[in-house]
Every structure is written in structure tokens, then in C-alpha cells.
Amino acid sequence: MGLLAARELAAAGARVTVLERGQPGAESSWAGGGILSPLYPWRYPEAVTRLAAASQAMWPDLAEALAGETGLDPQWTRSGLLMGDLDPGEVETARRWAAAHGIPLETLDEAGARAVEPGLGKVGPPVLWLPEVAQVRNPRLVQALRRALELQGVEFRQGVEVQAIRTRDGGVRDLVTSSGTVPAGQVLVAAGAWSAGLLEPLGLVIPVRPVRGQMILFHGPPGLLHRIVLSRERYVIPRRDGHVLAGSTLEEAGFDKSVTREARQELMAEARRIAPALAGLPVVRQWAGLRPGSPTGVPFMGEHQEIKGLWVATGHYRNGLVLAPASARLVADLMLGRTPALDPAPYSPGREAA
């Protein structure tokens, strides 16, 4: 979120510095799956659907621009999304939601689903097919973004932890960091799962908490699977080069990013149920990331109600990649005093208090 907002701000001529405790883009945005649609999208409030639609329209050009500027291709790919094992009531809800939003969605029987994904395993019909859902290879994306920002002249200070944000006369004065104070005109807190802790001392209490997600990675020959497949809250994502990601758990484990044997076993079994061809492949990696969880998945974006120049962009929960382009544009528009294309009210960081 921070990197994309920096891109928008720098493109408008602002001088931007990214302060990052670790490596830029190496936390949740690296750990995620890169599916560019909410899972079970009809379960979310309209504010998420609106942001997702605006972002989905921006993604192809953004990915192409980043590849062109940096030579690093984020591999935006329209894989489509198959979703099975839904109860009949939910299938009806999904169809109504898709019709209302003009989103192509088909209901397939077993043969139809297998025609779309020949590698499909035990995934119960009816299967919903959303052909326009795309994915991005998020570790490449963050690498490309970082490079693009350097070319734009954005300054990076990595290994620098922001410890406090200090104010003066109702505005931001400076940041206290692990390597000294940094003066700042405006500050955007895009600290993911760690954001709430930075804002609370400033009187802004937002319900953003870490929600751990574990993933595993298979590697096999390219073309084994073609589609993203979701069933019983578990999914597989085929990358172009034969890697297949399988995820993900949803765990309340505080800020603990360790991985567990149970999750590895469970994700392996579920992935092989969804796509039996994975049975012969080794798991080459397992990792965990901390999502910036919010109660309904609606992110918190906007200015602190009392402190001028203190901005927030966090709480994107399970959808921070799909929602990123329109979120970054919205936040940049607000910070620059431009009229945003989307109504910012549903995302206001102060909305819980209102």
C-alpha cells in the first residue's frame, strides 16, 4: 500500500521518502497469493466491491507500465477463478451479486468445470466460474514497484523503524525512528498489520489486527494447472513457470509469523484434493504472512480527524493486492487535494468512532 501510494504521489511531483523497518514489500504484500479478486466476493460490503472493481480496471495497465519501466514483469494473468463446494443458497446469492455488478459468472456442472480446468479433482458441483479474475505474481510486483520508485526518485530508508509520530499545532512535526528523527510535512501510515500501534498514541483507534496466513508452494512442470481454484476456503494458484501456491490459513496468532506442521499437512491434503496432479510434486517452501485484518474487510483510508497531514491506508485484510491500485489513487488524491474518483466516506479512519 505504501509503495503504490508513493508511486502516485511521486508521479504528481511530491518528494517522497519510504521508511521501512525491514525490506520494502517483504511482509504481507510479499506473502500473499496475488489473486485479484476477493474470495467469495459477494460476502463483502459494497465499499469493498467498489474498490475492487476500480482496482481491477487499473491492474492490466499498471502491471504493463511496471514491466516496461523496470524490465521486471509482475505477470498479471487472467487465469479465471473456479469456486466449488458452495451450498445452493450461496450459489443463488453469488449469481444475483454478479448480475447486479455486471460481472461475468457461469454455473458449471462437473463436466463443464473439468472442461475449464482438466486438472480439477474432488471439487463439488455446482462450480462457479469467474473467467475475468486475474492474478499477479506479488513478489515480482513488489520488486518491480521498488525499482520503479527508485527510478522516480523516491528515497528509501530501509531497516528504519518508525517508533512515534510527533505533532505540533494540530499538524505533523516529525517521526521518531530507530535512526533519529525525520521531519515530515505529511505522513502516510501504511504499516499493514502493525498500523494500529502507531496510531493509537495519537488518539486514533482503528480495529486493525494481525491475521496470520500460511501458504505452501509446489513446483512442477508448467501447464499442470491453468485456473485458480477455490474450494472449502482453500485455493490453488498456478504461476506461469510451474509453481503452484496453495493457501491459506486464517489464524489469530498475534504477531507470530512462524509456520506449523499442521498447516503444512492440511494445506497439502486440500491442495491435492483440489488438484490431484499436485500429489507427485514436492512442497518446496512454506511461509506465513500477517494480514492487516479489519472487521468487515473495508480498509481505513483518509486523514486523522484532528491531526492535519497524518494519513492512513491500512486494514485491507485479505484483499490488499486486489484493492491496492484504487486505494493508492484514492489516498494520493486526498493527500494532494485532488477530487477522488471514489467517495472516500466509507473508508474514513474515524468512521468507527462516528
Asked whether position 79 contacts ligand FAD by CB under 6 A, the answer is no
Helix (H, G, I), strand (E, B) or coil at 24: coil
Q: Is 168 exposed, middle or buried (0-12, 13-18, 19+ CB in 10 A)?
A: exposed
- C-alpha closest to that of 189 among 23, 2, 329, 55: 2
Q: Of the candidates 16, 34, 141, 231, which one interacts with ligand FAD according to CB under 6 A?
A: 34
CB of 262 to ligand FAD, least distance (A): 16
Using alpha carbons only, give the angle 47, 126, 246 rounded to the nearest 5 degrees.
Answer: 65
- The residue number with the shortest CB distance to ligand FAD is 320
CB 326 within 8 A of CB 62: no
β-strands 81-84, 300-303 pairing: unpaired
190 touches ligand FAD (CB under 6 A): yes
Q: According to the binding rule CB under 6 A, does residue 21 interact with ligand FAD?
A: yes
Provide the sign of the torsion angle of the four alpha carbons 112, 116, 120, 123, taken in this order: negative
Answer yes or no whether residue 108 interacts with ligand FAD by CB under 6 A: no
Cα–Cα distances in angstroms (integers) from residue 281 to residues 233, 272, 277, 354, in the given order: 22, 10, 8, 52
Q: Is 80 in the site for ligand FAD (CB under 6 A)?
A: no
Tell me, by CB under 6 A, how many residues bind ligand FAD: 38
Question: Interface residues for ligand FAD in 279-338 (CB under 6 A)?
Answer: 289, 291-292, 314, 316-322
CA distance 217 to 119: 17
The residue type found at 18 is V
Nearer to ligand FAD, 212 or 272 (CB): 212
Q: Where does this chain touch ligand FAD (CB under 6 A) — which range of 19-27, 60-68, 69-77, 199-207?
A: 19-27
How many helices (H) and strands (E) the chain has is answered by: 9, 16
**CB neighbour list of residue 180: distance below 8 Å, 6 or more residues apart:** none
Q: What is the dihedral of CA 327, 330, 333, 337, to 10 degrees?
A: -130
Which of 11, 15, 22, 222 touches ligand FAD (CB under 6 A)?
A: 22
Least distance in Å: CB of 246 to ligand FAD? 10
Question: Which residue from 6, 9, 10, 19 is in contact with ligand FAD, where contact means CB under 6 A?
Answer: 19
Among 5, 7, 16, 32, binds ligand FAD (CB under 6 A): 32
Residue 24 to residue 145: CA distance in whole angstroms: 10
Selected from 5, 6, 10, 35, the binder of ligand FAD by CB under 6 A is 35
List 79, 248, 294, 327, residue binding ligand FAD (CB under 6 A): 248
Q: Which is nearer to ligand FAD, 72 or 126 (CB)?
A: 72
> Of the ranges 86-94, 119-127, 188-196, 258-266, which one interacts with ligand FAD (CB under 6 A)?
188-196
Minimum distance, C-beta of residue 53 to ligand FAD, in the bound complex (Å): 14
Contact assessment for residue 280 and residue 225, using Cβ atoms and an 8 Å cutoff: no
Q: State the nearest-atom distance from the C-beta of 88 to ligand FAD, in Å.
A: 26
Query: What residue ranges bind ligand FAD (CB under 6 A)?
Result: 1-2, 19-22, 26-29, 31-35, 161-162, 190-194, 198, 213, 215, 247-248, 289, 291-292, 314, 316-322
